[in-house]
């Protein structure tokens, strides 16, 4: 049987150039902080107009793969920051109408193992961050936003203590959506603050003691408690999470 092929999709020249440069970045030929050749040099190397190179660089910049060196027009290789990656995924999740239940369910998957790993892998520096997060939440004002920020920092501190650099990238978009939902919970159920503070203290004690099983157990209880709070407040778990404002 003869194979048949359809026409190849048209791809603008600037996109082919962007793909070629991106490939060098992703295979680490070009490393974080390396300066790219000038627009004129790139135009010569690719045998295209300078405007085509400029458009390719704009595309790479929008993908956070390159950035302009301060005070110059020269582009350097960049590494997307966690918040940049998270914000894009958060927008995608919000536009797909993910629900409070779905966000909560994924946190139940991610957070208990993170606490377990934190108990095993924490360093003095990351442990101190968890301690600060717990102390700061306990001492925060009654303002709802301050409480919400404290919840987010606690989860971020535990993720950092796990020693797994994938975890912050994975759960940051979920935390951004959780924070949007928690604003409703905190406003409607002020006593939730005391339950959150108590759970955080138990998780911290287990991490400090290196007790991985207890850390996992208490983090599981902590995350499950959010669901109970939503239900008590009459928040429909199957409604879309309120999307936070773009950062």
Among 246, 245, 237, 221, which residue's Cα sits nearest to residue 108?
221
The pLDDT of residue 156: 94
Dihedral (Cα; 44, 45, 50, 54), 10-degree rounding: -160
Q: Measured between alpha carbons, how far is 84 from 102 in angstroms, rounded to an integer?
A: 22
The pLDDT of residue 88: 76
Q: Give the chain's end-to-end CA distance (angstroms, integer).
A: 55
Q: Cα 165 vs. chain centroid, distance in angstroms? A: 11
For residue 77, give the 3-state DSSP assignment. Answer: strand
| Domains of the chain, first to last | 13-77 (1.10.10.10), 82-232 (1.20.120.530)
Q: Cα 190 vs. chain centroid, distance in angstroms? A: 27
Determine the length of the chain.
Answer: 247
Helix (H) or strand (E) holding 50: helix 50-62
Q: Which residues pair with 35 in a beta bridge?
A: 76
Helices (H) and strands (E) in the chain, counts: 10, 2
pLDDT band for 210, please (50, 70, 90 cuts): very high
b/e for 143-169, b at 16 or more Cβ within 10 A? Answer: ebeebbbbbbbbbbbbbbbbebeebbe
Supply the mean pLDDT for the chain: 85
Token pair recorded at residue 157: 């501190």
Rounded percentage of the chain residues whose pLDDT exceeds 70: 91
pTM of the model: 0.75
Q: Measured between alpha carbons, how far is 80 from 83 in angstroms, rounded to an integer?
A: 8
The pLDDT of residue 243: 59
Q: Measured between alpha carbons, how far is 120 from 115 in angstroms, rounded to an integer?
A: 9
Separation in Å, CA 125 to CA 49, 85, 129, 203? 50, 25, 7, 17
Rounded percentage of the chain residues whose pLDDT exceeds 90: 43
142 vs 199, more confident? 199
Mean pLDDT of 127-154: 87
Is 192 a residue whose pLDDT tops 90? no
Poorest-pLDDT segment among 15-29, 55-69, 177-191: 177-191
Q: Please say whether the beta carbons of 47 and 58 come within 8 A.
A: no
What is the CB-side half-sphere exposure of residue 187 using CA atoms within 13 A?
A: 9
Q: Please say whether the beta carbons of 188 and 144 come within 8 A.
A: no
123's CB contacts (< 8 A; 6+ apart) are 161, 163
Is 37 a residue whose pLDDT tops 70? yes
Q: Measured between alpha carbons, how far is 112 from 114 in angstroms, rounded to an integer?
A: 5
pLDDT tens-digit profile of 74-126? Answer: 899 988 777 777 677 777 777 778 888 888 888 899 999 999 999 999 999 99
pLDDT tens-digit profile of 96-106? Answer: 788 888 888 88
């Amino acid at each position: 049987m003869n194979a048949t092929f359809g026409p190849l999709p048209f791809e603008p020249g600037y996109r082919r150039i962007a793909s070629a440069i991106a490939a060098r970045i992703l295979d680490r030929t070009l490393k974080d902080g390396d300066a790219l050749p000038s627009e004129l040099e790139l135009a010569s190397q690719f045998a295209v107009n300078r405007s085509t190179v400029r458009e390719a660089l704009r595309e790479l910049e929008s993908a956070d793969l390159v950035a302009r060196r301060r005070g110059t027009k020269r582009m350097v290789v960049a590494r997307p920051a966690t918040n940049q990656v998270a914000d894009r995924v958060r927008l995608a999740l919000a536009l797909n109408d993910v629900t409070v239940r779905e966000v909560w369910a994924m946190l139940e998957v991610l957070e208990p193992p993170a606490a377990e790993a934190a108990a095993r892998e924490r360093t003095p520096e990351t442990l101190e961050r968890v301690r600060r997060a717990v102390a700061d939440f306990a001492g925060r004002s009654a303002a709802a936003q301050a409480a919400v920020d404290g919840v987010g920092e606690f989860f971020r501190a535990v993720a950092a203590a796990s020693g797994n650099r994938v975890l912050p990238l994975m759960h940051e978009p979920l935390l951004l959506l959780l924070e949007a939902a928690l604003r409703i919970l905190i406003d409607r159920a002020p006593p939730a603050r005391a339950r959150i503070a108590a759970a955080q203290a138990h998780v911290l004690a287990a991490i400090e003691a290196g007790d991985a099983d207890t850390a996992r157990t208490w983090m599981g209880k902590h995350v499950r408690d959010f669901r109970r709070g939503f239900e008590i407040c009459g928040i429909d778990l199957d409604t879309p999470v309120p999307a936070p404002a773009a950062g």
